[in-house]
Structure 1
Amino acid sequence: MSEWKRCTVGDVCEVFDGPHATPPQSNDGPIYLGIPSIRSDGSIDYENSKRISYENYPKWTKRVTPQENDVVFSYEANLESYARIPAGFEGCLGRRMAIMRPDPSAIDARFLYYYTQSPAWKAVIASRTVLGATVNRIPIATFPEFPLRLPSLPAQQHIAGVLSAYDKLIENNRRQIKLLEEAAQRLYKEWFVDLRFPGHETTPIHNGIPEGWKRTTVGKICELIRDSSRPDDRNESTMYIGLEHMPKNSICLNMYGDASSVTGSKLNFRKNDILFGKIRPYFHKVGFAQCNGVTSTDTLVMRAKPNCFGLLLEIVSSDAYVAYATATSKTGTKMPRADWNAMSAYELLEPSARVLAQFDGFVKQITDEIMNLSDQIVAAREARDRLLPKLMSGEIEV
């Protein structure tokens, strides 16, 4: 640690905050970086970020335009959100957002991002947090004075290289998972929408329905599970999936909490049950369970009937079904909730037993591969998180 030198944020970075107002939203255009734009893993959530029009863009980048390798963060409310701006990014800072722009001759941008995840930096933030009546904040005016402790630039680059190797593996696996999810949806469309299933060439069609097929509903190919879990039933080894752990627009559920730390009644689920977040269903939080565990009562637990897992998963995770669940949801005092009575009545075509079994087999091959890639992500994430504080404190030298 003797080779690590003390300095301040301002010694190695420029600090810029964004405009203190909110621009009109646009359907397309550059990203408007707000607190929800930063995922928990330090990446930018392009899909669910707000947009600003190109017409308004120059006005909202007068103060600063985020560029590659800037580290963006929130200085109010969520004080643990940090992300490194990737190459090709186009966007502006929103309210409560700021960036650190590293001096490449003094600090490695990747190292700077990982440093923000270290216990040392979190202690700095905690000691300088101003507690507010509604939200906590860190004073952006004095932020450049916040202390850092850095090794030499080559050591920073080595440390960042080790940690980023894990993140590259994680990102590569995520891309593969996304491709597998898209492949399953394409197969569903080809077989059940376009009716180009195996043997379609010789199968007669009557009133738009292939021979041997029938009209049915979601409620007839699955069971809604209401198996309640009490706090006494749970321990540290029980996996908990809350709405906060469920990603948007992905069937891969590989984020968990500790069930022993949650209170109140929950719902039990089994491996391969399908979980559907029923609060604000337009968030599109739908996926299949990769293990046994418990989930929030704000989640619907669906268990497919024999050979119906693949069909059920692809239907209830489709854009069309999520839009239907949203349109038929019950409007509460604060937020809409999906209505199972309406969801279970959603109509679909159930194929012949042969086609149903074939489709189920193909989808299970895809979900098995997703689980394999997901396990690698979890292992890489855990290894990185164990290693990061040791590297960032100098306990382990590269």
Structure 2
Amino acid sequence: MTMATFQKVKLGDIAEIIMGQSPESKYYNETGNGLPFFQGVKDFGEKYPIETKWTTYANKVANTKDILFSVRAPVGEMNVANKKSALGRGVCAIRSKINQGDFLYFLLRANIKKIINLGNGSVYDAINKPILEKIEFFVPDIPIQARIASILSAYDDLIENNEKRIKALEEMAQLLYTEWFVKFEFPVSLCHPEVAPATEGSRLLGYKSNGGKMVDSGTEYGMVPVGWVVKKLKEIANLIMGQSPTSDNYNFENQGFPFHQGVTDFGYKYPINRVYSIAGNKFAENGDLLFSVRAPVGYMNIANKKIILGRGLSAIRHKKGWQSLLYLMFDKKFTEKDMIGNGAIYKSVTKAELENLSFVVPTEYVAEYFEDIISAYFQEMEKITVSNIILSKTRDLLIPQLVTGKRELKKLT
């Protein structure tokens, strides 16, 4: 594949651009009514957006396979619509005119620095439709576009399948947590016979259904197993609130520690390290629960290395090291995001509010037994995540080489 096969085009020649326009908030809901609504990059996943809000009225709409492109800070982040969706003012939809949406997605990724520079050179600027339409690219013939897209999409497919494996493992962990700590059907074999008398063959049966003794916790949790108590977060975990260093310490060259201001760089389970800082006051350690304390409140990730915490995040570390249990406790409590953000989506949560959250705490033996089981699930999730990081890096190295023709494809047979 040589440069002779390429021709210069403007983005407006090969794609339609639909700028987002947010509907009135009275049309929003979190119950799945209407179209998924994407306001900006906080709704973006690895490749496909994450549905958290819907709207019953839409001014601007993206179709399936349209490219979702952030036009407000930070400019240039991309996802692909996997269903018809409503567009907020922070995103636009870019729709291929020649049915080569997959190639267009990789073409934009290969030229993202050029696009950002057209937005006045700063990741904190906005970019408009006329600027986008005038951006020029060199593109190969359509058969070559299709082959390039097929090669690069194969990496995305592997990554997506791995994400499904991670999701399946998490769902298994959530189901077991619900069985043990919500329904109180943990194995009777973990209890003293005086607490849960067991007949022959019943030691693996659930505690509550097998006549396990329950006592009144004196809290909103009501009856709990004997030996279990209700405690505040500050009694069972250490909480570190983030504090952002000054922006002159930030860099994209891996100098210092990864810096996370909020949920922008949250992955499906572990954060994506993009911004670094050579200075920091507040840190999260490997394995800490990362919890967003500013809009949107209640989003979680797990630190897989030491990172600097910005003011939009907190790090939570269980005093006994039961991090998997801690994650699932929070996951169950925050099934709806922003629920403790003083009742509004764009509120924040304070350290005192977090520290005074209450949780049902099992006996140490039950907790340790559960942690031994579930930590293996989380370890497997981390291994799969590492595999995805390697796949992503390989794909990202190939994108500019294939899209620009620096690496030739074998001739079509």
Q: Scaled by the length of structure 1, what TM-score is found?
A: 0.78
Q: Distance in 1 between matches of 2:102 and 2:155?
A: 13
In structure 2, the CA distance between the partners of 1:176 and 1:154, relative to structure 1 (3 Å rule), is: same
Q: Distance in 2 between matches of 1:271 and 1:130?
A: 37
Percent identity (aligned): 20
Conserved? CA contact 2:40–2:91, under 8 Å: yes
> What do the CA deviations read for 1:318-357 (whole angstroms, capped 9, x no partner)?
344877972569x9xx964323333223333222222111
| Structure 1 residue corresponding to 2:145, chosen from 134, 156, 159 | 156
Match of 1:242 in 2: 261
Conserved? CA contact 2:297–2:348, under 8 Å: no
Give, in angstroms, the shift of residue 110 of structure 1: 0.6
Give, in angstroms, the shift of residue 223 of structure 1: 2.3
Match of 1:296 in 2: 310
Structure 2 unmatched ranges of 5 or more: 189-206, 217-222
Q: Distance in 2 between matches of 1:97 and 1:257?
A: 20
Match of 1:309 in 2: 323
In structure 2, the CA distance between the partners of 1:7 and 1:307, relative to structure 1 (3 Å rule), is: closer
Matches within 5 A, 1:1-398: 1-13=3-15, 15-18=16-19, 22-23=23-24, 25-27=27-29, 28-36=33-41, 39=44, 41-48=46-53, 51-53=54-56, 56=57, 60=59, 66-74=62-70, 79-86=75-82, 89-95=83-89, 98-104=92-98, 108-119=100-111, 122-123=113-114, 126-127=117-118, 129=119, 136-140=126-130, 144-199=133-188, 200=207, 201=210, 203-207=212-216, 208-225=223-240, 236=255, 238-245=257-264, 247=266, 252-259=269-276, 261=277, 263=279, 265-280=280-295, 282-306=296-320, 308-320=322-334, 326=340, 336-398=347-409
Paired residue type of 2:128: I
Conserved? CA contact 1:246–1:253, under 8 Å: no
State the secondary structure of the residue aligned to 2:366: helix
Paired residue type of 1:204: K
Conserved? CA contact 1:131–1:137, under 8 Å: no
State the secondary structure of the residue aligned to 1:117: helix
Match of 2:194 in 1: none
Q: Distance in 2 between matches of 1:197 and 1:76?
A: 49
In structure 2, the CA distance between the partners of 1:397 and 1:340, relative to structure 1 (3 Å rule), is: same
In structure 2, the CA distance between the partners of 1:335 and 1:47, relative to structure 1 (3 Å rule), is: closer
In structure 2, the CA distance between the partners of 1:307 and 1:100, relative to structure 1 (3 Å rule), is: closer
In structure 2, the CA distance between the partners of 1:69 and 1:315, relative to structure 1 (3 Å rule), is: closer
Structure 1 unmatched ranges of 5 or more: none
Q: Distance in 1 between matches of 2:225 and 2:153?
A: 51
**Which structure has more helix as a fraction of its residues?**
1
Give, in angstroms, the shift of residue 245 of structure 1: 4.8
Give, in angstroms, the shift of residue 361 of structure 1: 1.2
> What do the CA deviations read for 1:133-182 (whole angstroms, capped 9, x no partner)?
x9543343x75554221112222112111211121122222222222223
Q: Distance in 2 between matches of 1:356 and 1:20?
A: 49
Q: Distance in 2 between matches of 1:238 and 1:74?
A: 26
Moved more, 335-344 or 181-190: 335-344
Give, in angstroms, the shift of residue 72 of structure 1: 4.0
Q: Distance in 2 between matches of 1:176 and 1:336?
A: 34
State the secondary structure of the residue aligned to 2:282: strand
Give, in angstroms, the shift of residue 115 of structure 1: 0.3
Q: How many matched pairs? A: 371
Give, in angstroms, the shift of residue 218 of structure 1: 2.0
Match of 2:193 in 1: none
In structure 2, the CA distance between the partners of 1:286 and 1:78, relative to structure 1 (3 Å rule), is: closer
Q: Scaled by the length of structure 2, what TM-score is found?
A: 0.76
In structure 2, the CA distance between the partners of 1:11 and 1:257, relative to structure 1 (3 Å rule), is: closer
Conserved? CA contact 1:274–1:288, under 8 Å: yes
Conserved? CA contact 2:289–2:300, under 8 Å: yes
Q: Distance in 1 between matches of 2:339 and 2:68?
A: 35
State the secondary structure of the residue aligned to 2:324: helix
Conserved? CA contact 2:155–2:391, under 8 Å: yes
Q: Distance in 2 between matches of 1:336 and 1:84?
A: 29
Give, in angstroms, the shift of residue 394 of structure 1: 0.7
Q: Distance in 2 between matches of 1:212 and 1:301?
A: 29
Return structure 1 stretches of 4+ with deviation > 6 angstroms: 226-232, 321-325
CA RMSD of aligned residues (A): 3.7
In structure 2, the CA distance between the partners of 1:344 and 1:111, relative to structure 1 (3 Å rule), is: same
